Amino acid sequence: MAWRGLLRVVDFQALLLGQAAVAAALEKAQRASGTKSPEVKALREGYYLLAKVLWTRRASIPRVHDLAWLDHTVVSAGTRLGHVLAGADGRQSVAALEESTADPVLRDLIPQKDSDWVEIPVEAFAGISPTVKLERGVSGPCRVGIVPDAKLRALFDAAATAKFSAPAAAVNILGEIEALSAAARRAGSPSVAVVFAASSFEDLSAE
């Protein structure tokens, strides 16, 4: 099993209204590689995922995981800060961070077990609930952390403080968290959060 993780600033308002970007990418991919390619399948699933979350106003851990990666690769690719962690080195960085701090806000971003729900303001359509409920925690192969706008200052301070006593393997990831929380605060939007989305998956590259 392989592993990859993503630390990202996500604007859930822009993401959940990003179906047009996904549809454009889907059309382009279909022309390039046909309707049955893995890329086309993933984009089609992403399109319907956005629709489902908008309709239900909630997303479980696996869905939040997929939303974060969809935002990173398609909806807002290159427009907001994101850092991909991969393989043994990435996993070691996360493990070192887990072992070096018990700060509650860092645990919200890098959860170890269980789950809870976070409400993020998203005003998609008039007359519909102005928030979306997102689950964070651990579920099967997926792990998702979310730090919303109200806790971004605390996240920045926690990461900056932890760097002074953290093991070397955790220093870089703490620096990334510090930079991401600062960027999210500068956005000045209640729909912006810092998200961690990681999963183990079957690696088919060797076949």
pLDDT above 90: residue 126 = no
The confidence score (pLDDT) of residue 116 equals 96
C-alpha distance from residue 109 to each of 21, 37, 81, 100 (Å):
27, 34, 16, 14
The tokens describing 173, both together, are 């990831």
The three-point CA angle 199-203-204 to 5° equals 145
| pLDDT above 90 coverage of the chain, percent | 65
Torsion (CA) 107, 110, 116, 119 in degrees, nearest 10 = 100
Q: Which tens digits make up the pLDDT trace of 4-58?
A: 999 999 999 999 988 888 999 889 888 887 877 888 888 899 999 999 998 899 9
Q: Provide the 3-class DSSP secondary structure of residue 90.
A: helix
Distance CA 142, CA 198 (A): 6
Task: Render pLDDT for 151-172 as a digit per residue (tens, 0 to 9).
Answer: 999 999 999 999 988 899 999 9
Please provide the average confidence, as pLDDT, over all residues in the chain: 90
What span, in angstroms and rounded, lies between the C-alpha atoms of 160 and 178?
6
31 burial type by CB count under 10 A (0-12 exposed, 13-18 middle, 19+ buried) = exposed
Sequence ranges of the domains in the chain:
2-201
Give the model's confidence band at 123: pLDDT under 50 very low, under 70 low, under 90 confident, else very high: confident
Asked if residue 124 has pLDDT above 90, the reply is no
